[in-house]
Amino acid sequence: MIPVQGLAGGKVAVLGLGRSGLSAARALREGGAEVVCWDDNPAARDAAAAEGFDCEPFKTPQAFEGIARLIVSPGIPHLYPHPNAIVACALEAGVPVDNDIGLFFQSFATSAWGSFETMPRVVAVTGSNGKSTTSALIHHILEHVKRPCQLAGNIGRGVLDIEPAVDGEVVVLELSSYQTDLARNLTPDVAVFTNLSPDHLDRHHGMGGYFAAKRRLFAEGGPDRAVIGVDEDEGRFLAGQLSEGPADDRVIRVSVERKLTGPGWQVAARKGFLSEYRKGKQVASIDLRNVPGLPGSHNHQNACAAYAACRSLGLAPKVIETAFHSFGGLPHRSQTIAEHKGVRYVNDSKATNVDSAAKALEAFKNIRWICGGLEKEGGLEGLEGPSASVRKAYVIGREAAAFAMQLPVEAEVCGTMDIAVRRAAEDAQEGDVVLLAPAAASFDQYDSFEKRGEDFIAQVQTVIAR
């Protein structure tokens, strides 16, 4: 646990008692703060009360008298589409609002670091797609070289649940826009921006607000090194804002769509080959085509970002290349479940938006595509080109018929996962790939994309066992 510093003796309110909220409450108490909590879910309040936390509703600005700070869980809106009522009361009362990410950066460094030979460092990864795989890959590479490291944030453990850093340790954080938008402290040593595509637009009041939330990780913290995906306008703009000129190697530009040139530091992947250029000269090259855990151009982008981050930490190209080959990938992200009678079954349930689904479709050929769910704002534009390898779509979700009508390929309305998997398996021929890449959220039928992916796995196993 990371005890929260700077709030000892103060009274701090925590709103939302899921994983991050309860973790924050514990860390605040460990740091000497008086903690009061609230969650609209009675079961969550009972769990907090069982750990000795007082629960108060904070329904008026007057209820915040004497409160030093309000800590808000990521899923609770603080501004758009409109502030949560308790957040609004805190703001009216003039109480600072923060989250567990802000508390982490406020508290990570300790007096014990004075005896360390190598200062601990934080690598923070954000972006629309690929941030989980990129974060996990960086962590895997660091483990491969036996460097002390921990993985936390939007993936794995809560940021305040990790152990205090030891000499030379690297903490890798995956940070969502919900987390970067509110944190009062954002000071990573290395910050990574993978890419940007439309997502969470209601929460951020459009693409401008969404990009602004991501940009805070770089603008607020001033990282020593910034790894920026420059295949979108926003990434190129961000790289330009952070750089003092073309030769400024504090910014490492990353691409899988264009050849990068110039005197700076660039990492790009084209036709399956990763290349690193510095000062106009190529210094390393890696063949990614046979790396099993990183299939497709979207994973090659993740590999470039992770490679750049690890190079900024001083790791050698050959060491990183070796680690790539032992990376197994993450569940629900281009995850091969089985190969049966010449048909490959791939679970990419994490492809919850059009852009991530398009990248999954581009990674394979002869696709039997299982898609559908809770459609996100912006519709399904952008799937026509990537769907060229789709032989047929099998659509799930409560609004499967309406979803199917928007697809640029032959589509069969299945409704549920069991029917979709069975029909895709019946139609599949040797060499086909049955791919779950929903291009939609899961919440119309499942509690999470993980539950959706687990159902896909279960249905595949049932079909294969017949």
Count CB neighbours of 129 within 10 A: 27
Count CB neighbours of 93 within 10 A: 16
- Contacts of residue 405, Cβ cutoff 8 Å, sequence gap at least 6: 411
CA distances (Å), origin 250, targets 118, 189, 308, 343: 20, 11, 11, 46
Please tell me whether 312 is known to bind a ligand. Answer: no
State both tokens at 449: 């994309």
Please tell me whether 130 is known to bind a ligand. Answer: yes
For residues 103 and 160, is the Cβ–Cβ distance under 8 A? Answer: yes
Whole-angstrom distance, CA of residue 412 vs CA of residue 226: 45
End-to-end CA distance of the chain: 48
Phi, psi of 346 (to 5 degrees): -125, 130
Please tell me whether 131 is known to bind a ligand. Answer: yes
Please tell me whether 129 is known to bind a ligand. Answer: yes
Cα–Cα nearest to 221, from 80, 101, 76: 101
CA distances (Å), origin 293, targets 62, 84, 298: 54, 41, 12
Phi, psi of 399 (to 5 degrees): -110, 40
Count CB neighbours of 402 within 10 A: 13
Please tell me whether 128 is known to bind a ligand. Answer: yes
Please tell me whether 296 is known to bind a ligand. Answer: no
Sign of the dihedral through C-alpha 459, 462, 464, 466: negative
Cα–Cα nearest to 351, from 194, 132, 175: 132
Q: Which residues are annotated as a binding site?
A: 127-133
Annotated binding site for ATP: 127-133
